[in-house]
Amino acid sequence: MAKKKEIRRIGVLSSGGDTPGMNAAIRAIVMVAEENGIETYGIRGGFRGMINGDIVHLDPSVVRTIAHKGGTILKTSRCPEFVEKEGQERAVQMAQAYDLDGVVTIGGDGTMRGAAALCALNIPTITLPGTIDNDLSYTDYTIGFDTAVSGVINEIIKIRDTMVSHDRIGVVEVMGNRCGDIALHAGLAGSMDYIILPEMEYDIDVMCAELKKKALKGHPTSMIVVAEGAAHGNEMAKYINSRTGLDTKSVVLGYTQRGGSPTARDRILAARLGQHAVRLLTSGVSNRAVGVRGDVVVDMDIMEALEKPKVFNRELYDLACTLVRQ
């Protein structure tokens, strides 16, 4: 039987769009590794840093108090060079030059593909779900999603205040790529009148007719949250105004959703998943995507995790609609 390779040094990188909680995950990885006598190296700027050998030792003292910080101390990038075989081979050479016995990646689906590529080239790799979008089907929640939703809700409160004062309609565009989860959760928690998502068909003319009817009955303010994957908030606001004559303003929340201190929920999730990633590597396990189902930390084959179709939470959507229709 082949002897399990001892893990002495691991690398960690963040990749793709940053997300609140990446630092909390980095901290957990370094600290849990340290407890097991493993040194951690930070690969700066995602897969690009791996290709370029931008790799630094992460002393526990550097990460001890970073869990509350937004962004990622390791920086991040979207790296098209790493999609090419040449880039991947160069990255593997660098991992070998730095004696990395394993790597933990933190990011979204692109990062997961990168992690799978490293595994195929014999670099043991574990990946953590780091994206505000919550668009990875194998895990109930991704790191950063809770913070993004909380941030959106705070903005909605402010936007509603001024829309009500001016008898206006407010359209709030949120991120999510092709996934409507940020809009759905913020829409429900923020009591939005309409939630426009890529997962659900909608008829803007029906909505316009309803908005006009409501205004005529003395309720001129309605709040609409629109996922970027479904429509552009600015265009929607213009269309509503042209069809109804109602004063309609739009706000694109943009990068405000990706920054800021992570919520307690995201910090705890990041810590638990980071710990699990190190445990997998020390047990000789590779090629796993770590996530959470219910309140249980789970892991599965990276490609299988990527292929799992995302299931839309129709029940939550129906509930959100019920809560504002009466």
Q: Are 190 and 150 in contact (CB under 8 A)?
A: no
Locate all alpha helices (DSSP H) within 14-120, ordered by sequence: 22-35, 47-52, 60-63, 85-97, 109-120
Among 177, 248, 275, 282, binds ligand F6P (CB under 6 A): 177
Cβ neighbours for 37, distance < 8 A, ≥ 6 positions apart: 8
Among 108, 124, 187, 233, binds ligand F6P (CB under 6 A): 108
Helix, strand, coil shares of the chain, percent, nearest 5, are 45, 20, 35
Distance in Å, CB of 192 to ligand F6P, minimum: 18
DSSP 53: T
Among 76, 131, 139, 244, binds ligand F6P (CB under 6 A): 131
Among 17, 21, 124, 187, binds ligand F6P (CB under 6 A): 17
Annotated catalytic, 133?
yes
Amino acid, single-letter form, for residue 105: T
Interface of this chain with ligand F6P, residues 266 to 325, rule: CB under 6 A: none
**Catalytic residue selected from 101, 109, 133, 299:** 133
Q: Are 41 and 100 in contact (CB under 8 A)?
A: yes
Placement of tokens 């990011």 in the chain: 107
Nearer Cβ to ligand F6P (177/222): 177
Please provide residue 34's backbone torsions phi and psi, each rounded to the nearest 5 degrees.
-55, -45
Query: CA-to-CA distance for 86 and 36, rounded, in angstroms?
Result: 34
**Site map (CB under 6 A) of ligand F6P, residues 192-231, x = contact:** ------------------------------------x---
Query: CA-to-CA distance for 127 and 16, rounded, in angstroms?
Result: 13
The pair of structure tokens assigned to 175 is 């991120």
With contacts defined by CB under 6 A, name the span among 58-66, 125-133, 186-194, 231-239 that binds ligand F6P.
Answer: 125-133
Among 176, 190, 198, 233, binds ligand F6P (CB under 6 A): 176
Query: CA-to-CA distance for 66 and 246, rounded, in angstroms?
Result: 47
Distance in Å, CB of 179 to ligand F6P, minimum: 8
> How long a stretch of residues is the chain?
326
With contacts defined by CB under 6 A, name the span among 6-14, 31-39, 174-182, 278-286 that binds ligand F6P.
Answer: 174-182
Q: Residue 42, class by beta-carbon neighbours within 10 Å (0-12 exposed, 13-18 middle, 19+ buried)?
A: buried
- Mutual angle of helices 85-97 and 109-120, in 10-degree steps: 70
Interface of this chain with ligand F6P, residues 230 to 259, rule: CB under 6 A: 258
The footprint of ligand F6P on this chain (CB under 6 A) covers a number of residues equal to 11
**132 forms part of the interface with ligand F6P (CB under 6 A):** yes
Distance in Å, CB of 173 to ligand F6P, minimum: 11
Query: CA-to-CA distance for 85 and 39, rounded, in angstroms?
Result: 28
With contacts defined by CB under 6 A, name the span among 66-74, 113-121, 126-134, 185-193 that binds ligand F6P.
Answer: 126-134
Nearer Cβ to ligand F6P (131/221): 131
Distance in Å, CB of 132 to ligand F6P, minimum: 5
With contacts defined by CB under 6 A, name the span among 59-67, 89-97, 128-136, 195-203 that binds ligand F6P.
Answer: 128-136
With contacts defined by CB under 6 A, name the span among 21-29, 130-138, 153-161, 292-300 that binds ligand F6P.
Answer: 130-138
Interface of this chain with ligand F6P, residues 66 to 85, rule: CB under 6 A: 78
Alpha carbon 241 to chain centroid, angstroms:
33
The pair of structure tokens assigned to 176 is 């999510």
Query: CA-to-CA distance for 166 and 84, rounded, in angstroms?
Result: 53
Site residues for ligand F6P per CB under 6 A: 17, 78, 108, 131-133, 175-177, 228, 258
Residues marked as catalytic: 133
